[in-house]
Amino acid sequence: MNTKRSWVMGVLASLPLAGSVAVAQTAQPPRGLPNTPMAQPGGTMKLAEKDQAFVDKAATSNLAEIKTAQLALDRASSPEVKRYAQMIIEDHQKAMDQLKKIAQDEGITLPTDVTPEQQHRIDKLSKLQGPAFDQMFLKEMAKSHDDAVKTFQRAANELNDPQLRSYAENTLPTLREHDIKAKEDLKMEAK
């Protein structure tokens, strides 16, 4: 009888331990699943790799567009180019503010400055003035907006995070408008 009682007591004693292991296993975030948000200590979420890459690119692109357009307000000679630059500043600041809100909601850290490559292009542009600046600025805007449209289109179709996917979808029409306007203004400035 003592061995049966010892066996029952052993089984009962192990139940809380087994339960806590099961709870501990279910409380862990899934590991190794590609492109899914992962829970982080402190309740923040780690984005899927492609979602984080999009966030980084969107933030640095917005910052670069704003910085470049601010330069255009000083250096451009054409009133049309200056109007375009003002539109770029306003629209990209709005897009950046929306991205910051998503980042805050989801505990994401955004880049706070342009990439070295973007800074190099801005520095190169800053050495120009007047009509030469206008031409180069519009070429840069057309190129950067071609790239942005492709990036945001892909993001709208492929991202996992619904807020980021929606952000990409909602920002696309403005980016397309900027791209078209840069190309139209470039043709006008070339005449």
- Which residues are CB-contacts of 46 (< 8 A; sequence separation ≥ 6)? 37, 38, 39, 40, 52
Per-residue pLDDT of the chain (191 residues; tens, 9 = 90+): 555 554 444 444 444 444 433 333 333 333 333 434 444 433 345 789 999 999 999 999 999 999 999 999 999 999 999 999 999 999 999 999 999 999 999 999 999 999 999 999 999 999 999 999 999 999 999 999 999 999 999 999 999 999 999 999 999 999 999 999 999 998 888 77
Query: Is the Cβ–Cβ distance between 81 and 187 less than 8 Å?
Result: no
**Residue 73: inside a domain:** yes
**Residue 159: inside a domain:** yes
Q: Is the pTM of this model over 0.95?
A: no
- Tell me which residue range forms the domain holding 137: 46-190
**Residue 15: inside a domain:** no
Query: Is the Cβ–Cβ distance between 150 and 169 less than 8 Å?
Result: no
> Domain of 169: which CATH number?
1.20.1260.10
The total of other beta-carbon atoms located within 10 Å of residue 159's CB is: 23
Q: Which helix (H) or strand (E) holds 38?
A: strand 38-39
Query: Is the Cβ–Cβ distance between 61 and 114 less than 8 Å?
Result: no
Residue that is written with structure tokens 């010892």 in the block = 6
**Per residue in 14-50, is it b (16+ CB within 10 Å) or e — as a string?**
eeeeeeeeeeeeeeeeeeeeeeebeeeeeeebbbbeb
**Residue 62: inside a domain:** yes
**Residue 20: inside a domain:** no
- Which residues are CB-contacts of 37 (< 8 A; sequence separation ≥ 6)? 45, 46, 47, 48, 51, 160, 161
**Residue 17: inside a domain:** no
pLDDT for residue 28: 37
How many structural domains comprise the chain? 1
What does the alpha-carbon distance between residue 77 and residue 20 come to, in Å, rounded to a whole number? 71
What does the alpha-carbon distance between residue 117 and residue 115 come to, in Å, rounded to a whole number? 5
In this structure, which amino acid lies at residue 126? S
**Residue 9: inside a domain:** no
